[in-house]
Amino acid sequence: MIERLAFGELAPKHHTVLRDAKGNLRWEECLTRRGFDGPYTIAYHERRPHEHRVASAEHGFALPTPAPQRPLAKRHYRSTSVPTPSGPQIDGRVPLLYNGDVVLGIARPDAPDPVYFSNADADELFYVFEGSGLLRTMLGDLRYEKDDYIYVPRGLFYRFIPDAGLQSWLCIEAMGGIHIPRQWRNDVGQLRMDAPYSHRDFKKPTFVGPMDEGIRKLVVKRDGGFHGFSMEHSPLDVVGWDGTVYPFVFPILNFQPRAGLVHLPPDWHGTFAARGALVCSFVPRVVDFHPQAIPCPYPHSSYDCDEFIFYCRGNFTSRRGVGPGSISHHPAGIPHGPHPGSYEASIGTKETSELAVMLDTFDPLLPTEAALGAEDPGYQDSFIGG
């Protein structure tokens, strides 16, 4: 939902006749948000888009289940140590931390999705830690590369076709949707000139027109279950569409970071807003320029936020013992801050090369058994001393 796009054949007005050269009627499909009150896209199909027979699902990824309750503590999980199933992403995602608003997991798909998949429970955001490939939807194709965010709106069916080689993704399901933070838009919805990104920074779908991949199976995730459907024809039969509901790619390095006289809070790194969560991008940047500034994040007790950080690469000035693929989880209720020595050592530094994805969540995040299996047991005590 960045701006309205329009491709292919469109009727001159909504809900009016559109025919092909032989006089065949096109079929509208309205993709709506918040009932009929929010953003929408209207696509025109060659065939009726709602002809589905109920079938077995046969595909689906693991759903989060709670691990036994544990003492409140700062946690570090090495996601690179979490085993993930071989195969397509639809079968291979592993949830690690979750609450009622978000499910945070990983996937390392090594095969294309054999069916179309639609997540009717959540908007989805993937961060490509490693890998590249193609996201295919009826609204067009999107190439993705390492360091890209991939956004897919709730309810849009798609298929991932990864390139050969290692894929490693952070997967975020956002049950209440994902959107551009309101403060980055002006009164007419355009991204503000002083926002940390512009319209040009987002990669939009390349519309390719009707296509038949020979796939006649759709799997829909709804209410925590996977539901299968079969179709008589290819659902990629869209001849045109316009609207603001569509998938996009945002390269994290297109985020334009801020630096201040003194340390700025994470809100300035806010990239995507979700119900109960803010997704922030920490990218290489110059740091605070007051001669006495302490660029390292100050210790803080954010009483209503859990903090989740997925570390990608670079030097993590405030933390020791974390590396690419590390996940730190600092819960509300106890203060968190830099490791011993980091705070003092940061004085006088001019820049940071850190690259990380952070989520602040308002409800507590719970770990899954898969997360516990990759936990660094010495992390809580690693903050003592110095």
Task: Cite the active site residues.
Answer: 263
Antiparallel, parallel or unpaired: β 306-313 and 355-361: antiparallel
DSSP annotation of 201: G
Those residues with Cβ within 8 angstroms of residue 266's Cβ, 6 or more apart along the chain or in another chain: 278, 280, 358, 360
Only segment of 127-135, 144-152, 299-307, 363-371 that touches Fe ion (CB under 5 A): 299-307
Closer to Fe ion by CB, 44 or 282: give it. Answer: 282
User: Would the annotation count 233 as a binding residue?
Assistant: no
179 is in an annotated binding site: no
227 is in an annotated binding site: no
Q: Least CB distance from residue 154 to Fe ion, whole Å?
A: 29
Strand, helix or coil for residue 63: coil
Nearer to Fe ion, 72 or 211 (CB): 72
- Give the shortest CB-326-to-Fe ion separation in angstroms: 15
* Part of the chain binding Fe ion (CB under 5 A), chosen from 16-24, 53-61, 196-204, 301-309: 301-309
What is the closest distance, in whole angstroms, from the C-beta atom of residue 120 to Fe ion in the complex? 33
CB of 76 to Fe ion, least distance (A): 14
Per the document, the length of the chain is 386
- Residue 32 CA to residue 10 CA, distance in Å, equals 17
Cβ(376)–Cβ(76) below 8 Å = yes
Instruction: Give the residue ranges of DSSP H helices in 62-216.
Output: 89-92
State the DSSP code for 92.
H
Number of residues that bind Fe ion (CB under 5 A): 1
CA distances from 318 to 105, 163, 278, 311 (A): 24, 35, 21, 12
Query: Which of 26/329 has CB closer to Fe ion?
Result: 329
Structure tokens at 317: 């000035």
- Stretch touching Fe ion by CB under 5 A, among 78-86, 210-218, 278-286, 300-308: 300-308
For position 354 contacting Fe ion by CB under 5 A, the verdict is no
Residue 31, token pair as written in the block: 């993709």
Which of 77, 241 has the CB closer to Fe ion?
A: 77
DSSP assignment letter at 359? E
Nearer to Fe ion, 49 or 331 (CB): 331
- How close are the terminal C-alpha atoms of the chain, in Å? 47
DSSP for residue 276: T
Residue nearest to Fe ion (CB): 307
| Least Cβ distance, residue 178 to Fe ion (angstroms) | 21
CB of 309 to Fe ion, least distance (A): 8
Q: Are 3 and 10 in contact (CB under 8 A)?
A: no
CA distance linking residue 199 with residue 209, whole number of Å: 24
Phi/psi at 342 (5° precision): -70, -40
Kindly tell me which residue out of 307, 319, 332, 371 binds Fe ion, with binding defined by CB under 5 A: 307
Whether the CB-CB separation of 36 and 91 falls below 8 Å is answered with no
Q: Which is it for strands 133-137 and 140-144: parallel, antiparallel or unpaired?
A: antiparallel
Please report, in range form, the residues annotated as the binding site for Fe cation.
Answer: 300, 306, 336
Q: Which residues are annotated as part of the binding site?
A: 300, 306, 336
Site residues, Fe ion (CB under 5 A) = 307
